[in-house]
Amino acid sequence: MTPTLLALFFTILSILERKEDIFEELRQKYVKAFIANQSFWIPVQTVNFSLIPSHLRVTYVASASFIWINVLCYIKRQQLGATKTIE
């Protein structure tokens, strides 16, 4: 489900931001975001199911989700790979 949700995230936000090419950001940031997602959530869930007591798992995942959404926002706000010209 993650690949689809990441693609929707970048595409829908590009539509809402009224970008000319709604898939440009998806093409440039998708792989980085997907690798970051897997690098973040696999260890988080490993710790969740191996070390966290069951009565604290919801709180742990909610805290991890808060951190993840900030990472995703950071990736989203990075400039696209376009070259800048100085006049």
Closest Cα partner for 3 from 28, 39, 33, 25? 33
| Residue pointed to by tokens 């792989």 | 31
pLDDT of residue 85: 52
pLDDT at 86 over 70: no
Cα 49 to Cα 42: distance, rounded to the nearest angstrom: 11
Dist. CA 27–CA 30, nearest whole Å: 6
Q: Does residue 25 surpass a pLDDT of 70? A: yes
12 has pLDDT over 90:
yes
pTM for the whole structure:
0.81
- The Cα 44–Cα 51 span in angstroms is 10
| pLDDT band for position 87 (cuts 50, 70, 90) | low
Mean pLDDT, the chain, whole residue set: 91
Residue at 55: amino acid letter: H
